Amino acid sequence: MNAAELSRAAASWADADPDAATAAEVRELIAKNDTKELEDRFGASLEFGTAGLRGILGGGPNRMNRAVVRRTTAGLARYLKKHVPDVEKRGVVVGRDGRRMSAELAADAAAVLCAEGIPALYFPEVGPTPLIAFATLHLKAAAAAMVTASHNPPEYNGFKVYWGNGAQIIPPHDKGIAAAIDAVEPAKAVKLMPEAEAREKGLWRNVPQVVERAYLDAIAKLRVHGKPEDLTLVYSAMHGVGGRFVEACLREAGFSKVHFVAEQQQPDGAFPTVRFPNPEEKGAMDLSTALAERVRADVVLANDPDADRLAVMARDASGRLKMLTGNEVGVLLGAYLLQHTRAAKPLVITTIVSSAQLKAIAAAKGARYEQCLTGFKWIANRALELEPEGYAFVFGYEEALGYTVGTVARDKDGVGSALVVADLAAWCRSRSLTLFGYLEEVQRAHGLFLAKQANFTFPGTSGAAIIRGIMEGFRKQPPSRIGELGVTAALDYQAGVGTLPKADVVAYELDGGSRVTLRPSGTEPKIKIYFELKEAIGAGEAIAVARERGEKRLAALEAACLELAYARGLPKGGG
C-alpha cells in the first residue's frame, strides 16, 4: 500500500476500533504521517494459526488488541457452533496470565462467547496455561481460550486456543477458525453480553476452585520416587503465574527446603527484573543463581511467565551451578520415566528439532518413539491418535524447555514438570548422584548427543521477507556437505516428509547421525537454526574429554552452516 492507502486503512480501523485508547493511538500515527509504523501495523495482519495469535500490543490488524480479540472470539464461537453440536451446553474455558491487557482481553472473550449463546467458563484469577489445558478436559468443555504471550517480552500478548480434547488446535480447525474470523463483522459491531447480564442468564460462570485442587492432585500422582530426600531447591516464577502452584505442589510433596526468588514470585506484566522473561535468555536467571549460591541449593527451577516451560540448573561434578539445556532435561526425564514405567506399551514423543537421544533410549527400553513437527500441539495430538492402539503416553518434550509427563495436561506443563524434576533429583540424591551424574550415566549407555541453536531476529514485514529469502535460498541451493560432514539426506518438510504435515522446515541429515535444521519461529520474528552432533565416546574415555572434543566439532559445524546461510541471504552480523 502507498501512504494514502495506509492512511485510509488506518482511519477505517480506528473508526471500527471499540477501544478508545488504541483508536487514538492509530489516529496519532496518521496525524504524524508515520508511514513506517503504519505500514508495519496495516501492511499485514496477525494470522490465526495452530498457535492462535501472538503479537505486540497496540492498534491495528497486525497488533494484539481488543478489536482483534473480539473478532477472533466471534469467529471461534461461530465455528464451534457449526462443528460442535453441544457447544452451547459444554461451554468454553477462558483463562489468562498476568500480562498487560490480559484481564481486558479475557473479559472481552467471555462477553463475546456469552453473546453468541456459549457459556464462558471463566477463571477469575490468573493461572498457568497447563491449568487451562487440564480444565478443558476436567470440565468437558468444547474448547478453551487462554490469553497469554508465554515467554515473549512485556509488550506482547496472545490468544491460544484448545480443542475439546484438551490439546491445542491443529488442521483443519486452524484454517476453519481463521476463515470464520475473516467473515466476522467490524469489531465495533461484534456483540458483547455485559457480565452482569451474562451471569444472571447463567452464561458467565466462574470455574470452581476445586478444579485447581484437582490439577494439583493429578500432578502429585506423577511422582516416581516419592521422597524429598535432603534437597535444597530454589524456584523462580519469572514474574509469572506459576508461583503459588509450584509452591503448593512442592510443599505438599514434602520438599521443605525450597527458597523462592521473592522479587519474581508475584505476577507482574511489566517484568521489572528481566527485559525478556524467558529463562533461556542471558541474565534472566541471575537472581535465581545468586539466591542459589547464598543457600547452597542443589537444584534451581524456573518457569516462564505462563508456567508452561521449565528451566533447570544443577551442580556439576565440580560443584558449580550450571544450566541444563532443554534437550538434557528432556533426556533425563525420558530416561527416568521409562526406567520406572509400568506401562505395557509405553510411548514417548519429541519434535524434529529436539535431540535424537530420546530415540536411542526408547529403543533400549522397548518403548515406542515418535517424532513430530515443532510445537506441543503435535505431540499431544499424536499421543491421542496412538492411545486407542493401547499405547500409554509416558512423556513428551521439545528442546525449548517444554515437557509434559503423562496425561494430566495435553500440553507442555512447567508446573507438573517442576515437581517431577524435583522428584528425579531426589532419586538421584538417594543414589549419591547429581542430575549431571545421572546424565553421564545415560550418555554412556545411549550415546553422547550435543546440540545448540542460532537464532536471528528480523522484526516487521521487511524482516519476514528476509526470513523467507533465507529459507528459499537453502531450498534452491541445498548443500552437499556442511563443514567436515557430508549431507546424507536433505529434507524439505514443505514438500512433505513421511506422514508429517507440511511445514516451513528444511533439515539436513549428516554423516554419523548428526543434523542441521532450519525453521522460522511460529511465535516470534525469528529464524532458528538447530545443530546436533553425535560424538563417539572412546573405551574408558572420560566423558568430559569426549564432550570437549564434540563441542569443538559442534562449533565448527555451526560456523560452516552460517557461512552457507550468509551466501543464501542471512545478513552479516545477524539480526
Domain of 499?
Answer: 449-566
pLDDT digits (tens, 9 = 90+) for 159-215: 999 999 999 999 999 999 999 999 999 999 999 999 999 999 999 999 999 999 999
Centre a 10 Å sphere on the Cβ of residue 185 and count the other Cβ atoms it contains: 11
- Residues 404, 319 share a domain: yes
Residues 89-121 have pLDDT tens digits of: 999 999 999 999 999 999 999 999 999 999 999
**Residues 516, 409 within the same domain:** no
What pLDDT is stored for residue 441 in this prediction? 96
- Taking the C-alpha atoms of 82, 86, 90 and 93 in order, what is their torsion angle to the nearest 10 degrees? -10
Catalytic site residue from 7, 12, 45, 150? 150
Q: How far is CA 412 from the centre of its chain?
A: 7
- H/E stretch holding 304: none
Question: Does the annotation count 514 as an active-site position?
Answer: no
The predicted structure's pLDDT at residue 74: 98
Read off the pLDDT of residues 441-462 as tens digits, 9 standing for 90 and up.
999 999 999 999 999 999 887 8
Same domain as 453, residue 366: no
Give the closest residue to 346 by CA, choosing from 331, 328, 326, 366: 366
Do 121 and 255 belong together in one domain?
Answer: no
Give the residue from 402, 419, 446 where a domain finishes: 446
Same domain, 63 and 104: yes
One domain, residues 75 and 155: yes
Q: Which three cell numbers stand for residue 573?
A: 552480523
> Does residue 142 share a domain with residue 240?
no
| Backbone φ and ψ of 450, nearest 5° | -115, 135
328 domain-assigned: yes
pLDDT of residue 49: 86
Contact 190, 184 (CB under 8 A): yes
Query: What's the number of domains the chain is made of?
Result: 3
Q: Is residue 27 part of a domain?
A: no
Residue 524: predicted pLDDT: 78
Q: What angle do CA 284, 418, 56 make, to 5 degrees?
A: 45
Pair 442, 454 in one domain = no
Q: Is 68 domain-assigned?
A: yes
- In 3D space, the residue among 331, 329, 316 whose CA is nearest the CA of residue 444 turns out to be 331
- Nearest to 330, CA basis, from 347, 348, 305, 314: 348
- Do 361 and 467 reside in the same domain of the chain? no
Q: Does 505 lie in the same domain as 417?
A: no
Per-residue pLDDT tens digits of the chain, which is 575 residues long:
788 889 999 999 999 999 999 999 999 999 999 999 999 999 889 999 888 999 999 999 999 999 999 999 999 999 999 999 999 999 999 999 999 999 999 999 999 999 999 999 999 999 999 999 999 999 999 999 999 999 999 999 999 999 999 999 999 999 999 999 999 999 999 999 999 999 999 999 999 999 999 999 999 999 999 999 999 999 999 999 999 999 999 999 999 999 999 999 999 999 999 989 999 998 999 999 999 999 999 999 999 999 999 999 999 989 999 999 999 999 999 999 999 999 999 999 999 999 999 999 999 999 999 999 999 999 999 999 999 999 999 999 999 999 999 999 999 999 999 999 999 999 999 999 999 999 999 999 999 999 999 999 998 878 999 999 999 999 999 999 999 999 999 999 999 999 999 999 999 999 999 999 999 987 778 999 999 999 999 988 999 999 999 999 999 999 999 999 999 999 987 76
On whether both 499 and 546 belong to a single domain, the answer is yes
Flag whether 6 is in a domain: no
CATH number of domain containing 548: 3.30.310.50
CA distance 293 to 446: 32
Strands of the sheet containing 92-96, edge to edge, are 53-56, 156-163, 143-147, 92-96, 120-122, 204-206
Per the domain annotation, does 114 fall within a domain?
Answer: yes
Per the domain annotation, does 108 fall within a domain? yes
Flag whether 329 is in a domain.
Answer: yes
Domain of 358: which CATH number?
Answer: 3.40.120.10
Residue with cell 505462563: 306
The answer as to whether 574 is a domain residue is: no
Query: Which residue, 178, 208, 238, sits at the end of a domain?
Result: 208
In 494-547 the beta strands, taken as DSSP E runs, fall at 506-510, 515-520, 526-535
Residue type, position 493, single letter: Y
C-alpha–C-alpha distance, residues 463 and 15, integer Å: 29
Residue 3, Cβ neighbours under 10 Å: how many? 11
| Cell matching residue 513 | 547421525
Contact status, residue 185 vs residue 84, Cβ threshold 8 Å:
no
Give residues with Cβ within 8 angstroms of 545, minimum separation 6: none
Are 436 and 468 in the same domain? no
End residue of a domain, out of 387, 416, 446:
446
Angle at 323 between CA 322 and CA 326, to 5 degrees: 150
